[in-house]
Amino acid sequence: MLRFTAAFLVLLFSLQISAQSDEVIKNICKDAMSHSQLEILGRELLDGIGPRLVGSSQMTKAHDWVVEKYKSWGIAAENQQWGEWRGWERGLSQITMISPRAKSLNGTQLAWSPKTAKEGVSAEIILLPYAADSISFTKLLPQVKGKIVMISMLQPTGRTDNDWEKYVRKEDFEKMKATRTTQTQAWAKRITNTGFNAKNIDSVIEKSGAVGIISSYWSFANGANKIFGTKNRKAPHVDISQEDYGLLYRLVEAGQKPVVKIFTDSKETGIQPTFNTIASIKGSENLMST
């Protein structure tokens, strides 16, 4: 009986904690749905402060913003240093097609991209040279000297798969997917045959005399690219929108030799401290000790 009673009390206590936890979760969900501050916080952080590259002033502003926000809610918070990082500040990015016609292109420089001179750099656009193997690629590398080189594949569509499923015939959707798969495999082979990979090919092209690099890293969402970083020290590396990248790609394939001007302004700020923002919310009860 003593063993049974003890087991029953443990079960009853567990159910009590579970019921209390469920009620707490319900209240949290209700408050989130009825009094959400997400839009306001999003505007302050994403619109007001913007991108937050580690080591940048925007990241420092974001840490300070979080601390002040928590404090305004009566929650203790502080920034605790956690290592150091290369400091870099993004300035303006201006990318313009000047031939065969004038057109402003939508894009921005990758993190840690070097700045250009005030007049920018203007050059003909070419695709990453195709080679059967790394030895052949080495022989073709002189082609990139003085050129701006495109290193991303041409996407066959800018619409999400969900849009295709919703708005087009099934056979057209399947045809598009097959085309995308074929092009993806072909471009992957184009990169692999160089003897390098997507992470270091831009540095190889820079060392071979290219004056700029253009990529377009589509996120598979409508109108959204992923912007990462580069190790280039001289040639600016910019990512442009899928639509504009497709335009340049088609012009190159058609033999029209498009010319693009790239202007980037950025600043190296040396080694900067990095932080974790820590907030503490002290509880009022310890249910497990009851």
Which CATH number belongs to the domain containing residue 190 in this structure? 3.50.30.30
Distance (Å, whole) CA 185 – CA 174: 17
Provide the token pair at 71: 């404090």
Q: pLDDT-based confidence at 14, cuts 50/70/90?
A: low
Same domain, 139 and 212: yes
The answer to whether the CB of 240 falls within 8 A of the CB of 95 is yes
pLDDT value, residue 154? 95
pLDDT value, residue 18? 57
Spell out the residues 6+ positions from residue 187 whose beta carbon is closer than 8 angstroms to its own. Answer: 152, 153
Same domain, 254 and 280: no
Average pLDDT over residues 205-220: 95
Spell out the residues 6+ positions from residue 159 whose beta carbon is closer than 8 angstroms to its own. Answer: 222
Helix (H) or strand (E) holding 196: none
Spell out the residues 6+ positions from residue 202 whose beta carbon is closer than 8 angstroms to its own. Answer: 151, 213, 215, 230, 231, 232, 235, 237
The pLDDT tens digits for 91-121 are 999 999 999 999 999 999 999 999 999 999 9
Please name the residue that has the structure tokens 């994403």.
46
Q: How far apart are the first and last CA of the chain?
A: 23
Distance (Å, whole) CA 276 – CA 87: 17
Same domain, 18 and 97: no
The pLDDT tens digits for 17-65 are 555 568 878 888 888 788 888 889 999 999 999 999 999 999 999 999 9
C-alpha closest to that of 90 among 56, 42, 129, 141? 56
Distance of CA 277 to the CA centre of its chain: 22
Same domain, 131 and 262: yes
The pLDDT tens digits for 245-270 are 999 999 999 999 999 999 999 999 99
Same domain, 41 and 170: no
pLDDT value, residue 288? 65
Same domain, 98 and 185: yes
Same domain, 79 and 155: no
The pLDDT tens digits for 137-176 are 999 999 999 999 999 999 999 889 999 999 999 999 999 9
Same domain, 42 and 164: no
Same domain, 17 and 113: no
C-alpha closest to that of 73 among 37, 23, 43? 37
pLDDT value, residue 33? 82
Same domain, 58 and 162: no
pLDDT value, residue 285? 74
Helix (H, G, I), strand (E, B) or coil at 94: strand
**What range does the domain containing 31 cover?**
2-85+274-289
Report how many domains make up the chain.
2
Same domain, 62 and 22: yes
4: pLDDT strictly greater than 50 = no
pLDDT value, residue 284? 78
Same domain, 144 and 224: yes
pTM for the full predicted model: 0.83
Q: With 0-12 CB in 10 A as exposed, 13-18 as middle and 19+ as buried, what is 10?
A: exposed
pLDDT value, residue 290? 52
Amino acid code (one letter) for 221: A
Residue 234 DSSP one-character state: S
pLDDT value, residue 20? 58
